[in-house]
Amino acid sequence: MAPTETKILSDYLLVPAQLPAIISLQEFIELFPRSLQSSPQIRNLYRDLQTQRNAVVDSVAAEIEAEAKRGKAMRRVMIKAKREEEAPENDDEAEIERLLFGSTSDSQTPKHNIGSILPDLEGAVSELESELQLLGEEEAALLSSIQQTVGGMSDLRYGRFANGQLRDQVLEGLASLRDTCKSKN
């Protein structure tokens, strides 16, 4: 059985990353001057370093798991895309032909004739016309709303407001705020 992505990443990134695999406690102690090698603080320092290293290893393990899930999702998307690509394309003309003449286009006896299709087409045209009319009304309402918004912004830019006292009210509010701030200081 071929190794999985998770197995490869774990073997390459996690197994050699544990602190004892990198440096043993004895080797760590020997890095310090001989006078300090008997200090219990060195063991505490090694354990702290080991804890930090384990946290990093756990984080990498979580990332490996997340990457494996992303890989599975990508494989599913690729398989789906390949299936869709290999599936026969829907041909609109062939579909219309199938509807008119049945499942095989070799038969020359149509299921429908001009008399049966014309009323359906006229009904479809009237539905489309009514839908176009509704869309036209909706477009006119949106245009009116946008023009009102633009007009309101123009008033704001040039200082003309529907409420003529707005300027004075804002100035009074600012003065009140300034007085409040001065009284607090």
Point out the domain boundary residue: 71, 86, 101: 86
C-alpha span between 28 and 46 (Å, rounded)? 7
pLDDT at 111: 62
What's the pLDDT band for 172 if we cut at 50, 70, 90?
confident
Highest mean pLDDT among 108-112, 154-158, 163-167: 163-167
What one-character-per-residue DSSP string does the chain give? -PPPHHHHHIIIIIGGGSHHHH--HHHHHHTS-TTTTT-HHHHHHHHHHHHHHHHHHHHHHHHHHHHHHHHHHHHHHHHHHHHHHHSPPPPHHHHHHHHHH-S-TT----S--HHHHHHHHHHHHHHHHHHHHHHHHHHHHHHHHHHHHHHHHHHHHHT--SSTTHHHHHHHHHHHHHHHHHHH-
C-alpha span between 40 and 26 (Å, rounded)? 13
pLDDT at 145: 86
- The answer to whether position 69 is within a domain reads yes
Mean pLDDT of the chain: 81
- The answer to whether position 92 is within a domain reads no
pLDDT at 47: 92
Point out the domain boundary residue: 34, 53, 86: 86
> Are the beta carbons of 19 and 50 closer than 8 angstroms?
yes
- The answer to whether position 124 is within a domain reads no
- The answer to whether position 51 is within a domain reads yes
- The answer to whether position 116 is within a domain reads no
> Of 73-82, 89-98, 121-130, 175-184, which gets the smallest average pLDDT?
89-98
C-alpha span between 22 and 12 (Å, rounded)? 14
Highest mean pLDDT among 23-27, 96-100, 164-168, 178-182: 23-27
Residue 175 lies in domain = 150-184
Examine the pLDDT at 108 and tell me if it is beyond 60. Answer: no
Examine the pLDDT at 127 and tell me if it is beyond 80. Answer: yes
What's the pLDDT band for 1 if we cut at 50, 70, 90?
low
CA 107 vs CA 81, 103, 116: distances in Å: 35, 9, 19
* Number of domains composing the chain: 2
Examine the pLDDT at 169 and tell me if it is beyond 70. Answer: yes
Examine the pLDDT at 49 and tell me if it is beyond 50. Answer: yes
Point out the domain boundary residue: 86, 110, 139: 86
- The answer to whether position 70 is within a domain reads yes
